[in-house]
């Protein structure tokens, strides 16, 4: 089962390595991980997407809490939350396909962030499903490159 | 620059004094010269030069285990630092509080593949409780304070501080913080009251309970509380290899050790129990055997300071997170107040256990001509009256030392339980002896293990640290050989040590005393002689080559599925003739 875990950590060097080392050393999976600053510059926030049964998830959360640099761990499993991912996609866009590409982009509310005579680069934000659907529709045109941020999530009040 | 400023090396020394460190095990090298220069002109801290950095860490570890204080070691960068890794991992697996200072190349050179550079913070990240790279001398004192705090609180463990050369030579004012608060580190001390009440109720309701204690009892200094608990409730107590001394081995309620080489009655009690009270233990695979078959009828109460230990390997019905001493004090209060007729409740269960005790006690077959290794351990117990610190290496001798010697007090037993580090014993015994100059300290080794850190003979002789080393010499890597005999069709690959050195001569070459016993009647005289001499002694006991450790739970079996010596007896006789 897939889980989203939010982790507040000290903003120190080596912390990412402690967290990723914990996952690799104990055989836990990381599907995606994204890290950014918080309002407090001494604290960073990580969003980790992982898989495992209930027992493994319990261990992951306990082991994360045990790391000295971890301040707070939030498991989103029993919470209402919003999750988003951002993705940049560069596709082949020769003359005959350009308008079709833009039509698809329009349906998904993707934005064109770069355009050359032969290619378009789109920016799309959404949940995983939406991004996967967009990628699927663009596939026949020839995707040159794709970069995804991994998920971020926030609880709903 | 203000005149109050002192060098990082001097700050380090002041910090150690503030932490009341009296001894460090320290091996010098290029980037830590300044620290050794400062040590040279002071008298407050004894600094002992081991002959290998691994020895330094094991010595600090033995010092810590036998005293309960934080052990300290200091080494140089690069190879000096990497040589500490096994020792640090050993301490980490057994939750031993040590602080290790490693030198590092100057901050400006870090990452440049400089001479004797190693990323020791990266290397030791998974085997330390925490580690630090100090980048500014101004942070040094605070870092040392935090390191000692982290090492010694919660579930203890090793902490490493990496000190670049310029941090040691640069100057700053010295302020040692009185208190330390780390916002992300708050170990739970008090147990949850409701959980403790639940545990007490379950204990009162149980018909066939067993208390299973581990190293956490020793670390929390909770042996008195365990004894009180057992005596109130009349619950029998079994211990892990790490829990030895947490409950008196001579107590009528003691079941001895459980697990792979545990006693028949301990393993049977666990298997048939309806309630297990696990205290400061972590259900290691050497204890549980096949997890699915472990104590099928039992409810489990698990008391531990580390929440990750709970429900890691087995299901737990009543978890209590907290310091074992605190939790047991509270639990004992509850139990005493409950006024159950404990004796009457427990009568049947204890009778059943006594039947198991009689059915298969710990035993071995004595031989009049060849020294049985178990015999040496038995005699050691008699000769010392149990009043000695026993340190072991890893292998068959370790198990015999756990089975045939009775430990009544905590911190009289040091062994590498989790990591199983051959080579641990002798240097750890050295550390224990430094901490307890007036106690007898015996290191029990095999002929394989002792050769892994034999160089510390020089340290002991040079610094007058009279450790008494017992070598149970069967010229085999006996435990591996035992597995090959039982599970690999007697294909003895790489276990015959053949031409082991003459350990008596080795001792003499280092100006230590060497003694040897080849016949059973020589065992006691050699042990007594060693106790009498106030010098470093090697005792070479030439023991039965094919002796095995029993009972044994084969890998993959449940713990009541033990094998015993008798089945193999005939074959052993045959082998003896061949020899």
Yes or no: say if B66 and B432 are a contact pair by the CB < 8 Å rule: yes
Contacts of A66 in chain B (CB under 8 A): 306-308
Neighbours of A81 (CB within 10 A): 13
CA atoms within 13 A of residue A57's CA, in its CB half-sphere = 18
Over the stretch B11-28, which tens digit does the pLDDT of each residue have?
999 999 999 999 999 999
Contacts of B133 in chain A (CB under 8 A): 13-14
How far, CA to CA in Å, does B519 sit from each of B96, B516, B532? 39, 9, 21
Beta-strand pair B440-446/B413-414: unpaired
Over the stretch B166-214, which tens digit does the pLDDT of each residue have?
999 999 999 999 999 999 999 999 999 999 999 999 999 999 999 999 9
Yes or no: say if B24 and B44 are a contact pair by the CB < 8 Å rule: no
CB contact under 8 A, A21 and B121: no
Contacts of B311 in chain A (CB under 8 A): 55, 58-59
pLDDT given for residue B578 in this prediction: 38
Question: Under CATH, which architecture does the B193-359 domain have?
Answer: 3-Layer(aba) Sandwich (3.40)
Contacts of B71 (CB under 8 A, 6+ apart): B25, B59, B60, B61, B62, B63, B64, B96, B97, B98, B99, B431
Neighbours of B304 (CB within 10 A): 27
Domain with CATH 3.40.50.1220 in chain B: 193-359
Q: What is the DSSP letter of B191?
A: P
Give the gap in angstroms from C-alpha A137 to the nearest C-alpha of chain B: 44
The pLDDT of residue B309 is above 70: yes
Contacts of B124 in chain A (CB under 8 A): none
**Best residue of B93, B110, B120, B126 to probe chain A, by most A CBs closer than 10 Å:** B126
Q: What is the DSSP letter of B70?
A: P
Tell me the longest C-alpha to C-alpha distance in chain B.
Answer: 81
Average pLDDT for B518-535:
98
> Is B306 in the A-facing interface, judged by CB distances under 8 Å?
yes
> Is A54 in the B-facing interface, judged by CB distances under 8 Å?
no
Q: Which residues pair with B304 in a beta bridge?
A: B321
Which residue among A17, A65, A66 sits closest to B125, beta carbon to beta carbon? A17
CB contact under 8 A, A59 and B125: no
The pLDDT of residue B347 is above 50: yes
Angle at CA B516, nearest 5°, toward B511 and B520?
160
> Is B139 in the A-facing interface, judged by CB distances under 8 Å?
no
Grade residue B566 by pLDDT with cuts at 50, 70 and 90.
Answer: low
pLDDT given for residue B498 in this prediction: 87
Question: Under CATH, which architecture does the B373-542 domain have?
Answer: 3-Layer(aba) Sandwich (3.40)
The pTM of the full predicted model, rounded to 2 decimals, is 0.95
The pLDDT of residue B573 is above 60: no
Grade residue B565 by pLDDT with cuts at 50, 70 and 90.
Answer: confident
- Distance from C-alpha of B317 to C-alpha of B309, rounded to nearest angstrom: 14
Average pLDDT for B296-325:
96
Mean pLDDT over the full length of chain A: 95
Which residue among A14, A25, A55 sits closest to B126, beta carbon to beta carbon? A25
CB contact under 8 A, B308 and A63: yes
pLDDT given for residue A157 in this prediction: 87
Extract the residue ranges of chain A whose pLDDT is less than 50.
none
pLDDT given for residue B575 in this prediction: 45
What proportion of chain B, given as a percentage, has pLDDT over 70? 97
Over the stretch B249-289, which tens digit does the pLDDT of each residue have?
999 999 999 999 999 999 999 999 999 999 999 999 999 99
CB contact under 8 A, B306 and A66: yes
CB contact under 8 A, A14 and B311: no
pLDDT given for residue B339 in this prediction: 87
pLDDT given for residue A77 in this prediction: 87
Domain with CATH 3.40.50.970 in chain B: 5-173, 373-542
Over the stretch B202-245, which tens digit does the pLDDT of each residue have?
999 999 999 999 999 999 999 999 999 999 999 999 999 999 99
Average pLDDT for B85-91:
98
pLDDT given for residue B188 in this prediction: 94
Give alpha helix (H) positions in B289-438: 324-338, 342-359, 373-384, 396-404, 425-435
The pLDDT of residue B571 is above 90: no
Q: What is the CATH number of domain B5-173?
A: 3.40.50.970
């Amino acid at each position: 089962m897939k889980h989203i875990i939010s982790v507040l950590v000290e903003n120190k060097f080596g912390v990412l390595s402690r967290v990723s080392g914990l996952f690799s050393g104990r055989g836990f999976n990381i599907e995606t991980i994204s890290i950014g600053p918080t309002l407090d510059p001494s604290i960073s926030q990580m969003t980790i997407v992982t898989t495992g049964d209930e027992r493994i998830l319990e261990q992951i959360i306990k082991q994360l809490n045990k790391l000295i640099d971890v301040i707070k761990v939030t498991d989103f499993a029993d919470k209402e939350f919003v999750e988003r991912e951002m993705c940049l996609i560069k596709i082949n866009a020769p003359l005959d396909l350009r308008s079709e590409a833009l039509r698809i982009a329009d349906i998904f509310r993707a934005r064109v962030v770069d355009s050359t005579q032969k290619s378009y680069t789109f920016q799309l934000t959404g949940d995983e499903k939406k991004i996967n659907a967009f990628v699927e529709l663009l596939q026949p045109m020839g995707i040159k490159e794709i970069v995804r941020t991994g998920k971020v999530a926030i609880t709903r009040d | 620059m203000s005149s109050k400023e002192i060098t990082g090396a001097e700050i380090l020394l002041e910090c150690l004094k503030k932490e009341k460190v009296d001894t460090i095990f320290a091996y010098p090298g290029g980037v830590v010269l300044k620290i050794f220069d400062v040590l040279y002109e002071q008298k407050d801290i004894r600094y002992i030069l081991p002959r290998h950095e691994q020895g330094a860490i094991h010595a600090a570890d033995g010092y810590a285990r036998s005293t309960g204080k934080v052990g300290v070691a200091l080494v140089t960068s690069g190879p000096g630092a990497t040589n500490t890794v096994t020792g640090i991992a050993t301490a980490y697996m057994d939750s031993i509080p040590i602080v290790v200072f490693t030198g590092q190349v100057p901050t400006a050179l870090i990452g440049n593949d400089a001479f004797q550079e190693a990323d020791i913070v990266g290397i030791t990240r998974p085997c330390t409780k925490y580690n630090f790279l100090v980048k500014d001398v101004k942070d040094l004192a605070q870092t040392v304070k935090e390191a000692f705090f982290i090492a010694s609180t919660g579930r203890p463990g090793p902490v490493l501080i990496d000190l670049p050369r310029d941090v040691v030579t640069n100057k700053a004012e010295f302020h040692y913080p009185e208190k330390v608060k780390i916002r992300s580190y708050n170990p739970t001390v008090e147990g949850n009251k409701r959980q403790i009440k639940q545990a007490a109720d379950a204990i009162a309701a149980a018909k066939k309970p067993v208390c299973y204690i581990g190293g956490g009892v020793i670390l929390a200094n909770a042996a008195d509380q365990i004894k009180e608990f057992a005596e109130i409730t009349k619950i029998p107590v079994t211990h892990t290899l790490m829990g030895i001394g947490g409950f008196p081995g001579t107590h009528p309620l003691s079941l001895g050790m459980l697990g792979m080489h545990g006693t028949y009655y301990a393993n049977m009690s666990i298997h048939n129990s309806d309630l297990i009270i696990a205290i400061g233990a972590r259900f290691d695979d050497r204890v549980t055997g096949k997890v699915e078959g472990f104590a099928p009828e039992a409810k489990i109460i698990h008391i531990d300071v580390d929440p990750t230990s709970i429900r890691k390997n087995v299901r737990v019905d009543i978890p209590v997170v907290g310091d074992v001493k605190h939790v047991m004090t509270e639990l004992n209060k509850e139990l005493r107040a409950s006024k159950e007729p404990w004796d009457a409740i427990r009568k049947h269960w204890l009778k059943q256990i006594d039947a198991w005790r009689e059915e298969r006690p710990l035993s071995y077959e004595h031989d009049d001509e060849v020294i049985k290794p178990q015999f040496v351990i038995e005699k050691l117990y008699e000769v010392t009256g149990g009043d000695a610190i026993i340190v072991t290496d890893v292998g068959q001798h370790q198990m015999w030392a756990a089975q045939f010697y009775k430990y009544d007090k905590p911190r009289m037993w040091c062994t590498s339980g989790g990591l199983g580090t051959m080579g641990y014993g002798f240097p750890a015994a050295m550390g224990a002896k430094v901490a307890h100059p007036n106690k007898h300290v015996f290191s029990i080794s095999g002929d394989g293990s002792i050769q892994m850190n034999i160089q510390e003979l020089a340290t002991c002789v040079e610094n007058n640290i009279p450790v008494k080393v017992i070598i149970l010499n069967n010229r085999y890597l006996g435990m591996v050989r035992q597995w090959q005999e039982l599970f690999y069709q007697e294909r003895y690959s790489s276990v015959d040590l053949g031409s082991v050195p003459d350990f008596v001569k080795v001792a003499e070459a280092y100006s230590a005393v060497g003694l040897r016993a080849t016949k059973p009647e020589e065992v006691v005289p050699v042990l007594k002689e060693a106790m009498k001499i106030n010098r470093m002694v090697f005792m070479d006991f030439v023991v039965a080559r094919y002796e095995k450790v029993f009972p044994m739970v084969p890998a993959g079996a449940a713990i009541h599925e033990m094998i015993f010596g008798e089945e193999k007896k005939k074959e052993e006789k045959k082998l003896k003739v061949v020899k």
